[in-house]
Chains A and B, each alone.
Chain A
């Protein structure tokens, strides 16, 4: 049963990913990305990481995709249909396949004996987050603040300066 679910989710993930990198329409790419990310949330569920699945759906699906949509909308230019691939896409494919060729054998060779997955309690994560990982937590919030301010400054239009 778990296998079947996993295979389904894997197909969705990979399919969505392929959609992002292949399609000619930017909006379709964004939607494919959404499918992929939701499928990844499903994968987290299979791994009994419910909190992460929650976070994934909320943030990626709820915020990042929206922001991407806004960006697509604001940066439309008039050439349509457009060419969405670079001059070097064959080379990119070769490089990517080479990368895969290095990664996969290394995973297969260093095979670790897997065990049964288990439910991770929310309290456990919360405790860990605010004790062991407290400093990174604070820093992460700082990162968010800085990114926010930076984004505002960068994207602000020029007439407002001075």
Chain B
């Protein structure tokens, strides 16, 4: 298990190799990159096997008193300043932390990354920067895996930023398009703003605990060495970073724009892996959040709920297929945060994985559609199931899964979330969560029916289905989206459901709340049926609803004007302030404070220079006056 660090290393090595030698390698380096991530996937299986066979006696492993899970920690010291352990000393280490959360993430990241890279072989074929694409993909996978394995905050932060850079590079991959450039900048800047909170939170923890190690921080919280104020403050600050990366309101504005990148990138980074880094962070540092009165968790759940509900409403009226999926991602991330905030640790992780598989599948299906029709507007699609049946099937699997239809993975995970919210939060929460669930079923059904059902437009009659390199990953992900729910059950043997694998505090085997399950099934089925009637049958018309709520509809269609407000703030506040600062720097700091003394010295020198006339007689005069002065000086001393 201590070899788990190999998982990112293959991809870390592949990235520069592809950049440097890509031209000479088969497939311009794509093959090397796929092999690297495949290697990582293989290592994941070894790690899982090894962990299952480990117990508290295995070296480096112990049962954590914070989480109640078997945790294995391996560290190598890198840099020490000051005496180790003394107050104010700094120790920087490489370390990996293996517990079920890590293993779940490792599996998710390596599998989805592998699928997406294989898919990209066909999707990005013919692109002039094919090699660079795979290099950045490798780097991203390596960074994400490091983030997940990191056992100290500093390594986490480094990997966090690295993941952000890869996201920027990939969103702006087609940098000839101005929208892509703007979107990449926006993504990076908005997430950076959240990262400020993350950094301050990490430093706050370091100041209280004295080391960057996560396990040390959790110990400090548990034993009360970290005060309530410090724990709450650092938890909220860490959550700010999570909000940025996981697109929670108000940091969500970058994710829809990030759809400017290639669709496989959207599938990997903005559905399954990078955006869940925030959720992972909150889950990993859960001891900080639930310490003392668990006030931060209330904040987390409120923000999660607002995000989930708001994004769902926008997804319902969006017309660009990728934007629908983007807002759906934001909404589901909000659900994950809500679940974490409601102490639904297992539910959140489970939903993270189920959503990851399903959303990646949806994005890959959308990519297949876009690859053929070359348009992203749902208004120009319709009836595509006649010409691309495989894509239609897998897309429908993903949509049904996220809509919450039973059997599919999404249903089980969403159900767990509903149970958690019901158990730990008041009535408002559960009601609004159920509304969100209904909306998510509605918009997924709408997307599905608009694209694949209905009459086939003439311009799309030439459209073909996905080639094998694209079809295979989609099919594999489809299987997972369909069957992943099975791991939540109690199986014969010692496996008691995912609740006993990944949990916080104590494990719970699978249980089912009947009334919640029935309500959610009914809602989901009704939503799908209703959407069918509206968009396929056209037997129900929405005109009446639209005209009555036209004001509210306008607000939602404009995404609640978040972008406009931000732009106004930047134009009127930030730029004005920065112009003032620039002026201050130029006029006062530079001209007066820096150039000033130099100017004064120069002018003074020029003034003084007058006395160097070049004429000997003036020097003689000076000598005479000097002697007079000396004489007077001697007089005064003697007298």
The yes or no verdict on A and B being binding partners is yes
- Please give the residue numbers on chain A whose beta carbons come within 8 Å of chain B beta carbons, in ascending order: 86, 88, 91-92, 95-96, 98-99, 101-103, 105-106
Question: Once the chains bind, are B621 and A102 in contact (CB under 8 Å)?
Answer: no
Closest chain A CB from B637 CB (angstroms): 13
- Chief secondary structure at chain B's binding surface: helix
Give the 9 A-B residue pairs with the shortest CB-CB distance, closest first. A102-B631, A95-B624, A98-B628, A102-B628, A95-B625, A99-B628, A86-B617, A95-B621, A99-B624
B618 within 8 A of A: yes
| B 620-639 binary contact with A (CB < 8 Å = 1; else 0) | 01001101100110010000
Question: Once the chains bind, are A88 and B625 in contact (CB under 8 Å)?
Answer: no
| Chain A minimum-CB-distance residue to B628 | A98
Could you say which residues of chain A place their CB within 8 Å of the CB of B635?
102, 105-106
Question: Once the chains bind, are A88 and B624 in contact (CB under 8 Å)?
Answer: no
User: Considering the chains assembled together, what is the distance between the CA atoms of A64 and B628 in angstroms?
Assistant: 30
| Chain A minimum-CB-distance residue to B634 | A106
Could you say which residues of chain A place their CB within 8 Å of the CB of B628?
95, 98-99, 101-102
Could you say which residues of chain B place their CB within 8 Å of the CB of A88?
617-618, 621
| B 428-452 binary contact with A (CB < 8 Å = 1; else 0) | 0000000000000000000000000
Could you say which residues of chain A place their CB within 8 Å of the CB of B621?
88, 91-92, 95
User: Considering the chains assembled together, what is the distance between the CA atoms of A96 and B625 in angstroms?
Assistant: 8
| B 596-628 binary contact with A (CB < 8 Å = 1; else 0) | 000000000000000000000110010011011
Could you say which residues of chain B place their CB within 8 Å of the CB of A103?
631
- Give 11 pairs: A residue, B residue, CB < 8 Å, sorted on A: A88-B618, A91-B621, A95-B621, A95-B625, A95-B628, A99-B624, A99-B631, A102-B628, A103-B631, A105-B635, A106-B635
Could you say which residues of chain B place their CB within 8 Å of the CB of A92?
617, 621
Question: Once the chains bind, are B617 and A106 in contact (CB under 8 Å)?
Answer: no
| B 456-489 binary contact with A (CB < 8 Å = 1; else 0) | 0000000000000000000000000000000000
Could you say which residues of chain A place their CB within 8 Å of the CB of B631?
99, 102-103, 106
A96-B624, A99-B631, A102-B627 are known contacts; what are 10 more A-B pairs with Cβ within 8 Å?
Answer: A86-B617, A88-B618, A88-B621, A92-B617, A95-B621, A95-B624, A99-B627, A102-B632, A103-B631, A106-B631
Closest chain A CB from B15 CB (angstroms): 77
Could you say which residues of chain B place their CB within 8 Å of the CB of A101?
628
How many B residues, CB 8 Å from partner?
A: 10
Could you say which residues of chain A place their CB within 8 Å of the CB of B618?
88
User: Considering the chains assembled together, what is the distance between the CA atoms of A96 and B632 in angstroms?
Assistant: 14
Could you say which residues of chain A place their CB within 8 Å of the CB of B632?
102
User: Considering the chains assembled together, what is the distance between the CA atoms of A96 and B620 in angstroms?
Assistant: 11
- Please give the residue numbers on chain B whose beta carbons come within 8 Å of chain A beta carbons, in ascending order: 617-618, 621, 624-625, 627-628, 631-632, 635
User: Which residue in A86, A98, A105 is a CB contact (below 8 Å) of B625?
Assistant: A98
- From A86, A91, A95, A96, name the one whose CB has the most chain B CB atoms within 10 angstroms: A95
Could you say which residues of chain A place their CB within 8 Å of the CB of B625?
95, 98
Closest chain B CB from A91 CB (angstroms): 6
Closest chain B CB from A21 CB (angstroms): 13
Could you say which residues of chain B place their CB within 8 Å of the CB of A105?
635
Could you say which residues of chain B place their CB within 8 Å of the CB of A95?
621, 624-625, 628
Closest chain A CB from B332 CB (angstroms): 93
User: Considering the chains assembled together, what is the distance between the CA atoms of A96 and B624 in angstroms?
Assistant: 8
User: Considering the chains assembled together, what is the distance between the CA atoms of A86 and B628 in angstroms?
Assistant: 21
User: Considering the chains assembled together, what is the distance between the CA atoms of A158 and B627 in angstroms?
Assistant: 40
Closest chain A CB from B610 CB (angstroms): 13
Closest chain B CB from A102 CB (angstroms): 4
| Chain A minimum-CB-distance residue to B617 | A86
Could you say which residues of chain B place their CB within 8 Å of the CB of A96?
624
Closest chain A CB from B613 CB (angstroms): 9
User: Considering the chains assembled together, what is the distance between the CA atoms of A106 and B636 in angstroms?
Assistant: 12
User: Considering the chains assembled together, what is the distance between the CA atoms of A36 and B632 in angstroms?
Assistant: 30
User: Considering the chains assembled together, what is the distance between the CA atoms of A101 and B625 in angstroms?
Assistant: 12
User: Considering the chains assembled together, what is the distance between the CA atoms of A98 and B628 in angstroms?
Assistant: 7
Closest chain A CB from B438 CB (angstroms): 102
Closest chain B CB from A106 CB (angstroms): 7
User: Considering the chains assembled together, what is the distance between the CA atoms of A101 and B635 in angstroms?
Assistant: 12
Could you say which residues of chain A place their CB within 8 Å of the CB of B617?
86, 88, 92
User: Considering the chains assembled together, what is the distance between the CA atoms of A99 and B617 in angstroms?
Assistant: 16
Closest chain B CB from A75 CB (angstroms): 17
Could you say which residues of chain A place their CB within 8 Å of the CB of B627?
99, 102
User: Considering the chains assembled together, what is the distance between the CA atoms of A96 and B628 in angstroms?
Assistant: 9
User: Considering the chains assembled together, what is the distance between the CA atoms of A86 and B621 in angstroms?
Assistant: 12
User: Considering the chains assembled together, what is the distance between the CA atoms of A95 and B622 in angstroms?
Assistant: 9
User: Considering the chains assembled together, what is the distance between the CA atoms of A9 and B627 in angstroms?
Assistant: 29
| Chain A minimum-CB-distance residue to B630 | A102
User: Considering the chains assembled together, what is the distance between the CA atoms of A8 and B446 in angstroms?
Assistant: 133
User: Considering the chains assembled together, what is the distance between the CA atoms of A113 and B624 in angstroms?
Assistant: 30
User: Considering the chains assembled together, what is the distance between the CA atoms of A117 and B55 in angstroms?
Assistant: 123
Closest chain B CB from A56 CB (angstroms): 26
Closest chain A CB from B38 CB (angstroms): 90
User: Considering the chains assembled together, what is the distance between the CA atoms of A99 and B629 in angstroms?
Assistant: 9
Could you say which residues of chain B place their CB within 8 Å of the CB of A86?
617
User: Considering the chains assembled together, what is the distance between the CA atoms of A98 and B632 in angstroms?
Assistant: 10
Closest chain A CB from B353 CB (angstroms): 97
Closest chain B CB from A37 CB (angstroms): 22
User: Considering the chains assembled together, what is the distance between the CA atoms of A140 and B344 in angstroms?
Assistant: 112
Closest chain B CB from A15 CB (angstroms): 23
Closest chain B CB from A100 CB (angstroms): 10
Closest chain A CB from B277 CB (angstroms): 83
User: Considering the chains assembled together, what is the distance between the CA atoms of A66 and B631 in angstroms?
Assistant: 37
| Chain A minimum-CB-distance residue to B624 | A95
User: Considering the chains assembled together, what is the distance between the CA atoms of A98 and B623 in angstroms?
Assistant: 12
| Chain A minimum-CB-distance residue to B623 | A95
Could you say which residues of chain B place their CB within 8 Å of the CB of A99?
624, 627-628, 631
User: Considering the chains assembled together, what is the distance between the CA atoms of A88 and B611 in angstroms?
Assistant: 13
User: Considering the chains assembled together, what is the distance between the CA atoms of A84 and B98 in angstroms?
Assistant: 102
Closest chain B CB from A133 CB (angstroms): 28
| Chain B minimum-CB-distance residue to A92 | B621
| Chain B minimum-CB-distance residue to A100 | B628
| Chain A minimum-CB-distance residue to B618 | A88
User: Considering the chains assembled together, what is the distance between the CA atoms of A86 and B631 in angstroms?
Assistant: 26
Closest chain B CB from A123 CB (angstroms): 39
Closest chain B CB from A86 CB (angstroms): 6
Closest chain B CB from A105 CB (angstroms): 8
| Chain A minimum-CB-distance residue to B622 | A95
User: Considering the chains assembled together, what is the distance between the CA atoms of A92 and B615 in angstroms?
Assistant: 14
Could you say which residues of chain B place their CB within 8 Å of the CB of A91?
621
Closest chain B CB from A87 CB (angstroms): 9
User: Considering the chains assembled together, what is the distance between the CA atoms of A96 and B618 in angstroms?
Assistant: 13
User: Considering the chains assembled together, what is the distance between the CA atoms of A114 and B625 in angstroms?
Assistant: 31
Could you say which residues of chain B place their CB within 8 Å of the CB of A106?
631, 635
User: Considering the chains assembled together, what is the distance between the CA atoms of A106 and B628 in angstroms?
Assistant: 12
